Amino acid sequence: MRPREGLLVLADGTTFEGELIGAPAPGGVATGEVVFNTVLAGYQEVLSDPSYAGQIVTFTYPHIGNYGTNDEDDESRRPFVRGTIVRDLARRPSSWRATGGLDDYLRRHGVPGIAGVDTRRLTRHIREAGSMPGAFGDADEATLKAAALAEPGTEGVDLVATVTCDEPYTVPATGGGRRIVAYDFGIKRTILRHLTRLGEVTVVPASTPAAEVLERRPDGVFLSNGPGDPAVVGYATDAIRELLGEVPIFGICLGHQLLATALGASTRKLAFGHHGGNHPVRRLATGQVEITSQNHNYAVAEDSLGPAVEVTHVNLNDGVVEGIRAPRHRAFGVQYHPEAGPGPGDARYLFDEFAALIDGREG
């Protein structure tokens, strides 16, 4: 099959040539906020992470698709990414676990992509200019630039509403007898696997009021990861504020940001975010450095944290707040992903800390 030539055009006019892969974009043009991820493996988990809703993911590792795809590695019911950008797409996957190739996976889920792009140049440009909207497809350069300029990006957009579940559902425990309610802001399946080791998990939609959660008499409440700007998910912040002090709370990624907001803090957008599987984070209580998996474009502003909130973890690359704790409210959160999927498991102890908080064995 002859390659389909295509262009990627960023909102500032920077242009890249490539070959179109995956599903055809609606109208021949795919748009979204262009970000980059530095993982060496785990491309399927990245693409199926709902936290990427509204974004086009660039993989910095040059060879993507080497080991194919399979149903077990999906982190959600379907990918919510707007598209993907790669340097070299493997045409023949090699793995005993593979049930298909990445191109077939993209086509099956309606995700457009572009390969053959100089992803090193693209990544360096994003690092210098910041994440920005982009468009790719087989349209002419002027059309693609106009589409990129018209793309709103993620700031001020409620993307959580596009990925959350429609109705509550329960995941049986694989260990422990605790009852946990998990808010679905875009929850990953790997997180659910860790939580079910603590007890039965009832997953509820993002807009569920605090009163409905408390009616379930949970032992703990979990706030999941998710996409977009935490400042526009006010309904979730309001619910968390009502839950504070009523039940132990643990938040990850967007859940961490929403917890901080409910505690009176504010958030800010990073220039190009943290997306990868090798970010060093210092645990302040011990001085230990954890290598972490991260995926976020927003962060908690440290100078907005009140005296009742302690910073527990910091990013060693840029000093961003990576963890907070509010002992009086029995609540804590981390910006990174202790469940990994993909990434290292250095921080999985945090699920044990949640269990200890529920059981009254710590703060």
Structure confidence by residue, pLDDT tens digits, 277-333: 999 999 999 999 999 999 999 999 999 999 999 999 999 999 999 999 999 999 999
5 pLDDT higher than 50: yes
274 tagged catalytic: no
Tell me the per-residue pLDDT of 144-196, one tens digit each, with 9 for 90 and over: 999 999 999 898 999 999 999 999 999 999 999 999 999 999 999 999 999 99
Record: fold of 4-150: Glucose Oxidase; domain 1 (3.50.30)
Residue 52, CB half-sphere, CA atoms under 13 Å: how many?
A: 32
- Can you tell me the distance from the alpha carbon of 290 to that of 349, in angstroms, rounded to the nearest whole number? 11
* Active-site residue, from 33, 75, 125, 253: 253
Single-letter amino acid, residue 18: G
Strand partners, 101: none
Catalytic residue (choose from 256, 313, 337, 353) = 337
363 has a pLDDT exceeding 60: no
CA distances in angstroms from 40 to 83, 214, 240, 353, listed in the order given = 19, 42, 36, 29
What distance in Å separates the CA atoms of residue 242 and residue 340, rounded to the nearest whole number? 29
78, exposed or middle or buried, with CB in 10 Å at 0-12, 13-18, 19+? middle
Q: Which of 5, 33, 25 is nearest to 141 (CA)?
A: 5
Peptide bond just before 342 cis, omega within 30 deg: yes
Query: How confident is the model at residue 3, as a pLDDT?
Result: 73
Q: Do domains 4-150 and 160-359 have the same CATH topology?
A: no
CATH number, domain 160-359: 3.40.50.880
Query: In this structure, what token pair is assigned to residue 183?
Result: 């808010």
**Residue 284 corresponds to which tokens in the numbers above?**
């302040």
Tens of pLDDT, residue by residue over 187-243, are 999 999 999 999 999 999 999 999 999 999 999 999 999 999 999 999 999 999 999
- Position 315: which residue type? N
Ordered by start, the domain boundaries in the chain are 4-150, 160-359
Cα distance between residue 11 and residue 34, in whole Å: 10
User: Stretch 48-57: mean pLDDT, rounded?
Assistant: 97
User: Mean pLDDT of all residues in the chain?
Assistant: 96
CB-CB neighbours of 172 under 10 Å? 8
pLDDT grade for 2, boundaries at 50, 70 and 90: low
In angstroms, the CA 281 to CA 279 distance is 6
The pair phi, psi for residue 350, each rounded to 5°, is -65, -30
Catalytic residue (one of 33, 45, 290, 339): 339
Give the residue, 341 or 223, on which the prediction is more confident. Answer: 223
Q: What is the pLDDT of residue 191?
A: 98
* Predicted pLDDT of residue 361: 74
* Active site (annotated) includes residue 337: yes
Q: Which residues contact 267 (CB under 8 A, 6 or more apart)?
A: 229, 230, 231, 257, 260, 261, 298, 299, 300, 301
Torsion sign across C-alpha atoms 200, 325, 233, 46: negative
pTM of the model: 0.96
